[in-house]
């Protein structure tokens, strides 16, 4: 048992975004996946990424690092994650790379200049759009910004385990470098606070418990509508997308080292599943 008593504290933005990214994001891998989805859909070499609900826009920064002609548009309506992104990932880019990242503080439903190859929303962030009308408005805005061979990638989560109350997932993270390498850094806790099966509205939160004793309760709280895949596919069609594919997360890599498998049928024994819906703008 730990001898340290935990103390509920409020983390600085710097601490909470660093812990968030370390716990739930892998930007280089996500950038690689988007390129694969675009090529699977018949595209050649994607150049322009639109990262929606971008937060600290780490993926946009990785995207422009992966090619001299690559550009990214990062969209978020909140200043604090954008500010963290500017001070970290963006500051680490070369001046030439920085010129290829456009940061827009605006609603994802607002129209932007067309010319996007891949539009993407990660970590289920569009679940924050809780009505069909607002989801459609968002999808139409994405559709209008895509080139004709562009794709729209939506990361989704669901399954009985995701709507169970109460439920929590706990993971321990260790320092990966520096003098404390291998020592416990913090525990990540994902908590289900409520779920209403009629509206499919659920409230979820992230808590971090630091090895040094601080407890960052409700470091992030999400009030979501847990959309289902068929609802999203129907809306995509209505918004003008020509066809959509689903990539399901497998427990193990396949022979090509891929974890996400394109499929018409999800695995029905997955208590909590994760998948990407990939919609093509035009045939």
Residue 153 or 236 having the CB closest to ligand SAM: 153
Shortest Å distance, C-beta 187 to ligand SAM:
19
Tell me the HSE value of 228 on the side-chain side, using a 13 A CA sphere.
Answer: 10
- Interface pick for ligand SAM out of 123, 187, 201, 243 (rule CB under 6 A): 123
* 99, burial (CB in 10 Å: exposed 0-12, middle 13-18, buried 19+): exposed
Shortest Å distance, C-beta 192 to ligand SAM:
16
User: Quick check: 128 binds ligand SAM (CB under 6 A)?
Assistant: yes
Q: Could you tell me the two tokens for 46?
A: 């994607």
Buried b (16+ CB within 10 A) or exposed e, 220-253: beeebbbbebeebbebbeebebeebbbbbbeeee
Question: Footprint of ligand SAM on residues 163-192 (CB under 6 A)?
Answer: none
Between helices 27-40 and 58-65, what is the axis angle to 10°? 70
- Interface pick for ligand SAM out of 19, 122, 135, 219 (rule CB under 6 A): 122
Shortest Å distance, C-beta 53 to ligand SAM:
3
**What backbone phi and psi angles, to 5 degrees, belong to 252?**
-130, 160
- The label of the residue with tokens 């992030």 reads 220
Shortest Å distance, C-beta 83 to ligand SAM:
11
Shortest Å distance, C-beta 124 to ligand SAM:
7
DSSP annotation of 10: P
* Cα(92)–Cα(124) distance, integer angstroms: 27
Q: How many residues bind ligand SAM (CB under 6 A)?
A: 16
Shortest Å distance, C-beta 224 to ligand SAM:
9
Question: Footprint of ligand SAM on residues 10-69 (CB under 6 A)?
Answer: 24-25, 53-55
User: Quick check: 81 binds ligand SAM (CB under 6 A)?
Assistant: yes
Name the one range near ligand SAM by CB under 6 A: 71-79, 160-168, 207-215, 253-261.
Answer: 71-79
Residue 18 or 181 having the CB closest to ligand SAM: 18
Q: What is the 3-state secondary structure (H, E, C) of 109-173?
A: CCCCCCCEEEEEECCCHHHHCCCHHHHHHHHHHHHHHEEEEEEEEEEEEECHHHCCCCEEEEEEE
- Interface pick for ligand SAM out of 23, 47, 125, 141 (rule CB under 6 A): 125
- Interface pick for ligand SAM out of 108, 112, 116, 157 (rule CB under 6 A): 108
Residue 134 or 272 having the CB closest to ligand SAM: 134
Residue 75 or 226 having the CB closest to ligand SAM: 75
* Cα(184)–Cα(142) distance, integer angstroms: 41
261: Cβ–Cβ under 8 A, 6 or more apart, which residues? 247, 248, 250, 254
* Positions that interact with ligand SAM (CB under 6 A): 24-25, 53-55, 75-78, 81, 107-108, 122-123, 125, 128
């Amino acid at each position: 048992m730990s001898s340290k008593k935990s103390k509920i504290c409020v983390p600085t933005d710097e601490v909470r975004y660093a812990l968030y990214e370390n716990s739930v994001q892998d930007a280089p891998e996500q950038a690689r996946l988007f390129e694969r989805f675009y090529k699977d859909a018949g595209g050649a070499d994607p150049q322009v990424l639109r990262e929606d609900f971008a937060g600290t826009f780490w993926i946009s920064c990785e995207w422009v690092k992966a090619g001299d002609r690559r550009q990214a548009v990062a969209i978020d309506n909140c200043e604090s994650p954008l500010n963290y992104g500017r001070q970290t990932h963006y500051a680490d880019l070369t001046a030439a790379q920085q010129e290829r990242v456009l940061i827009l503080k605006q609603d994802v439903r607002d129209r932007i200049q067309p010319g996007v190859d891949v539009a993407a929303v990660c970590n289920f962030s569009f679940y924050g759009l809780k009505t069909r009308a607002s989801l459609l408005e968002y999808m139409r805005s994405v559709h209008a910004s895509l080139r004709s061979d562009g794709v729209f990638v939506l990361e989704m989560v669901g399954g009985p385990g995701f709507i169970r109350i109460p439920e929590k997932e706990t993971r321990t993270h260790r320092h990966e470098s520096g003098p404390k390498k291998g020592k416990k850094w913090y525990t990540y806790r994902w908590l289900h606070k409520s779920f209403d099966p009629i509206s499919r509205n659920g409230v979820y939160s992230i808590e971090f418990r630091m090895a040094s004793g601080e407890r960052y309760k409700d470091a992030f709280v999400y009030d979501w509508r847990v959309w289902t895949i068929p609802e999203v596919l129907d809306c995509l069609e209505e918004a003008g997308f020509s066809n959509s594919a689903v990539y399901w997360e497998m427990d193990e890599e396949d022979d090509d080292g891929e974890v996400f498998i394109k499929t018409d049928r999800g695995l029905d024994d997955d208590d909590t599943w994760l998948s990407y819906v990939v919609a093509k703008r035009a045939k």
